[in-house]
Structure 1
Amino acid sequence: MQSLKRYWKTYILGGALLLVLFIMAETGFQVRAFAQERYADLQNFSKVLNLIQQYYVEEVNTKKLVYGAIKGMLRELDPHTNFMPPEMFKDFETETSGEFGGLGIEISIQNGILTIISPIEDAPAWEAGIKAGDKVVAIDGTTTKGMSLAEASVMMRGKKGSKIVLRVVRDNEDKPRDITVVRGSVKIKSVKYTDLGDGFAYVRITSFIENTSKDLQKVVETHIKNNKNMSGLLIDMRRNPGGLLDQAIKVSDMFLKQGTIVSTIGRNKNEKEVATASKKGQYTNFPIVILVNEYTASASEIVSGALQDNKRALIVGQRTFGKGSVQSVIKLGDGSGLKLTVARYYTPNGVSIQAEGIHPDIEIEDVDPDAFSKAIVKSVTTREGDIAGHLKGDREKAAEKLDVKEGAEEGALAWWKDVGSKKDEKLSPRDKLFKADYQAYQAFSYLKAWDTLKALTR
């Protein structure tokens, strides 16, 4: 009996060993096959490079050829994967510190066309009249067709004080226009604040750079100190092209007690990285409304998604841009750099931001103040109820009993009558903001009505 057990034990162990050896042999074969295939491809590249070096009609710059080959390879991938030669990579590193030279714009490739995602406020491009959504068809007379983001970036950079001409196509315009921009130093102020009165605050976050979370905390602390409390916070992230992921996480963490902020999933679906709230959120007890639009992208979408899914904020405005991919930046040996897409962002509810964006809880269409003002002035007519001392109607009497203003309008008409028709010299900073910005006015009305709207965030 003992010998029989030993026999079966030996048989099982032998079979397991053969299985392991078979798997190792199969895996080894696959690895060798992959290596041989890659070697053959690299051998072809090496042969072509060698032939060019030996027989091309003129002397060639080998490094230039290699850089060109790398750029060509990356064109087969998404537009956010870029190779940056040493000088360009050096410029890239300075951009996230908050001060750099150039035009001050965020660009992307949309449907093969170089497109302005957002001009940075107060930067040269902003001052020259470049707008989000402008399609750049030529730079200094050179067509942008087939141009990569990295190549466009190189052409747009130059000495401070030098000029560049961008030919742009703008929606609802028949002909392209040439806009001259004077290059200059771009110092980003990523957090801008306006006191809205009655304890309410407006904060515009223009981008996420290395000091954004600290600057936002200072603004909130100052407001609470001056007003003794925070009745509500309106965060404006329209035209915010994004920036540093760690800053988006820190900003989200400030307003959350707990929960997931964002998760990233790369090629291996089992390797999931999750950023969660630290449970140290200082500002968790006042209402927040976040205003977004179609040019709200990347890091700003992460903050919007985190606070929306965790039922911490009401998102209003328009569906966001949908830039939900993660790039890693790798510095290479010669000082050049590779910006490589390695993963996708997912909101706490597991929804991919990529190409989908963040859907607002309440949509608010934009209104051109000048166009609306001209249209409303033409349509204004005096009615019986507008005449002083008029005989009151039944509805007007009922409204007085309920302490409701008769004729209280909603939407754009209410905005125009409240602040849109007033003279600038008579306006407070709050009203100056709202006169030029219907969406912000509407977003603030939702913030003030937070208790009524709580159900929308559940």
Structure 2
Amino acid sequence: MNRNFCRPLSKAVSVIAVITLLCLSGPNFVSAQENSNAGSLEYLDSMMDFIQDNYRDDVSDRQLLEGALKGMFAGLDDYSVFFTPDEASDFISDMQGEYFGIGVMISKAGDYVLVTKVFPASPAEAAGIVPGDRIVAVDGENIIGTAIYNASALIKGEAGTTVALEIIRGGQQGVIKVEAVRGPVRVNPVSYEINNEIGYIKIDVFNANTAEFLAPVMEDMEDRNISKIILDLRGNPGGEVNEVVAAGRYFIPKGLITRLDFKSEEAEDREYYSDLEKVRYELVVLINGMSASASEILAGAVQDTGAGVLVGTRTFGKSRVQNVIPLLTPEASEKYQKRLGVRLVDGFELISRYQVTPADDEIIGWVKLTTGEYFTPAGRTIDGVGLTPDVVVEDPVLLNGISVYNVSRLTVKSKPTLHTESVDVFNAEKILQMLDYDLDEPDMKYDVKTVRAVATFQKDMGLYSYGVLDFTTQSALNRELERLIKETDKQYAKAVELLDS
């Protein structure tokens, strides 16, 4: 992860202008007034002195001030928060859909960190890392048994730096050492497939890449004359207003998509429109309790305009809008007060109003601050209420502790045998566990117990029962996975039913 997000601030500003949550970047949201309560400031100074004099360990003024700022913003609502520069870097990278790393998806497999996906044209691909590799050390630090987020943090780093990985690869003896040069990795939040002339599109988050990655998907839908689409927004926590509006313009008929209303008189209220003259698709949108914020903008617009049907459970209910704003240090605030004759804490205000860009060390941190709210085309605000689906269908349940969404289809490209290890084995074990076959916790090892479970499955399916995960068996397991998805995911099944009727 690039820890120098605020260097230089002028570049950070252009980034923030794009990725502020549910709104365009606007100035003047957090400027202090000259008539601030002097007594409160003196009290804060006295409290800091009290801590300095009595607290057992050393603590700096900066630490105390950061703690005070965290407390101030945390007390406003559930969405306002103060970030230190490092924390802001992580947050902004997530929303921007780009981070600095090697380009792999990882998950836990027992005590191991398992590579489940390698992004095309990534540093990981260039280094020869493949799905199924188990990472056991990063820069000499053993990560067997470590939490997944700790492993991820070690693998990420500044662009251009090298990370040394030690991996175990199925079928090979010993540890393989590889080096990868960290670079920018862009996260694609859009996935899709076409089944029986119904297009299925899942959007994980509305990050800065969503519209770009959605465009070729919609082109493919058009080229293949797809007229029925299931849009899956389940678990989508939201993101950027420009991105969700761009997605909405494929589905929402001509007219209002959403309206943003801000408290500050200096922040212009916004209205976003679709210019779609004719709705092309029969649409079902899947939602649940974790569909929030920007995803509720799209779902609400679909419901209000009659562009489709909402299926699932009530959404989260967040219509509040946040901006991400750099805050000046006390020293910088005092410095610019002397120079400009006005007391400021908002770094954007300093830039936009006075054309002065503060230095990196003049920013104490960033605040994600609730600045307004959005409304659906019909003028509804759903904050704390959520959207009620047109067709209520309960959320999918786990099968023997496994979610069908955490299982990938077998590749049908190789035939794992006894004592081999692969991602296909891992997913086969998950499918078998969901089907209630007797085997150990899925760990991608094709051991004797897994062989026996496969042989039993083959017998039950009327196949030759010899325990080899051959192509016919893999195809049968894939069919069983499809069946489990349809049986377990009744929301998806209902969407298909509505579109087929």
Q: Structures share a fold, TM > 0.5? A: yes
Q: How many residues align?
A: 309
In 1, Cα distance between the equivalents of 2:291 and 2:375?
16
1:315 aligns with 2:310: yes
| Residues 197 and 319 (structure 1), Cα distance of their counterparts in 2 relative to 1, 3 Å cut | same
Alignment of 1:116-131 (within 5 A): 123-124=105-106
Q: SS of 2:37's equivalent?
A: helix
Greater C-alpha radius of gyration = 1
1:211 aligns with 2:206: no
1:234 aligns with 2:230: yes
Structure 2: unaligned runs, 5 residues or longer: 1-32, 112-137, 157-184, 328-361, 401-430, 436-473
**How far apart are residue 267 of structure 1 and its match?**
3.6
Give CA deviations for 1:97-156 in whole Å, capped at 9, x if unaligned: 324479xxxxxxxxxxxxxxxxxxx95468789xxxxxxxxxxxxxxxxxxxxxxxxxxx
| Residues 323 and 165 (structure 1), Cα distance of their counterparts in 2 relative to 1, 3 Å cut | farther
Moved more, 45-54 or 350-359: 45-54
Q: Which residue, out of 243, 262, 279, partners 1:284?
A: 279
In 1, Cα distance between the equivalents of 2:272 and 2:149?
45
Name the residue aligned to 1:443.
495
In 2, Cα distance between the equivalents of 1:72 and 1:100?
28
| Residues 223 and 127 (structure 1), Cα distance of their counterparts in 2 relative to 1, 3 Å cut | farther
In 1, Cα distance between the equivalents of 2:226 and 2:485?
19
Q: Are the equivalent residues in 1 in contact too, given 2:261–2:374 (CA < 8 A)?
A: yes
Q: Are the equivalent residues in 1 in contact too, given 2:248–2:274 (CA < 8 A)?
A: no
1:62 aligns with 2:61: yes
| Residues 370 and 338 (structure 1), Cα distance of their counterparts in 2 relative to 1, 3 Å cut | closer
| Residues 202 and 38 (structure 1), Cα distance of their counterparts in 2 relative to 1, 3 Å cut | same
Q: Amino acid of the residue matched to residue 366 of structure 1?
A: D
Q: Amino acid of the residue matched to residue 367 of structure 2?
A: L
Q: Are the equivalent residues in 2 in contact too, given 1:287–1:447 (CA < 8 A)?
A: yes
Q: Which residue, out of 199, 202, 206, partners 1:201?
A: 199
Structure 1: unaligned runs, 5 residues or longer: 1-33, 103-121, 130-157, 167-178, 378-421, 450-458
1:338 aligns with 2:367: yes
Q: SS of 1:90's equivalent?
A: helix
Q: Which residue, out of 250, 256, 280, partners 1:254?
A: 250
Q: Are the equivalent residues in 1 in contact too, given 2:80–2:367 (CA < 8 A)?
A: yes
Name the residue aligned to 1:71.
70
In 2, Cα distance between the equivalents of 1:128 and 1:321?
32
**How far apart are residue 57 of structure 1 and its match?**
6.3
TM-score between both structures, scaled by the size of structure 2:
0.53
**How far apart are residue 311 of structure 1 and its match?**
1.2
Q: Are the equivalent residues in 2 in contact too, given 1:163–1:180 (CA < 8 A)?
A: no
Q: Amino acid of the residue matched to residue 194 of structure 1?
A: E
Name the residue aligned to 1:356.
385
**How far apart are residue 195 of structure 1 and its match?**
0.6
In 1, Cα distance between the equivalents of 2:279 and 2:109?
37
**How far apart are residue 63 of structure 1 and its match?**
0.6
1:243 aligns with 2:239: yes
In 2, Cα distance between the equivalents of 1:271 and 1:253?
25
Q: Amino acid of the residue matched to residue 47 of structure 1?
A: S
Q: Which residue, out of 260, 265, 271, partners 1:264?
A: 260
Q: SS of 2:79's equivalent?
A: coil
Q: Are the equivalent residues in 2 in contact too, given 1:252–1:261 (CA < 8 A)?
A: yes
| Residues 125 and 63 (structure 1), Cα distance of their counterparts in 2 relative to 1, 3 Å cut | farther
Q: SS of 1:277's equivalent?
A: strand
In 1, Cα distance between the equivalents of 2:98 and 2:382?
29
Q: Amino acid of the residue matched to residue 258 of structure 1?
A: K
Q: Amino acid of the residue matched to residue 81 of structure 1?
A: S
Q: Are the equivalent residues in 1 in contact too, given 2:79–2:370 (CA < 8 A)?
A: yes
Q: Which residue, out of 220, 223, 240, partners 1:222?
A: 220
In 2, Cα distance between the equivalents of 1:58 and 1:330?
32
TM-score between both structures, scaled by the size of structure 1:
0.58
Q: Are the equivalent residues in 2 in contact too, given 1:262–1:276 (CA < 8 A)?
A: yes
| Residues 345 and 37 (structure 1), Cα distance of their counterparts in 2 relative to 1, 3 Å cut | same
**How far apart are residue 445 of structure 1 and its match?**
1.0
| Residues 231 and 37 (structure 1), Cα distance of their counterparts in 2 relative to 1, 3 Å cut | closer
Name the residue aligned to 1:38.
37
Higher helix share: 1
In 2, Cα distance between the equivalents of 1:425 and 1:50?
67
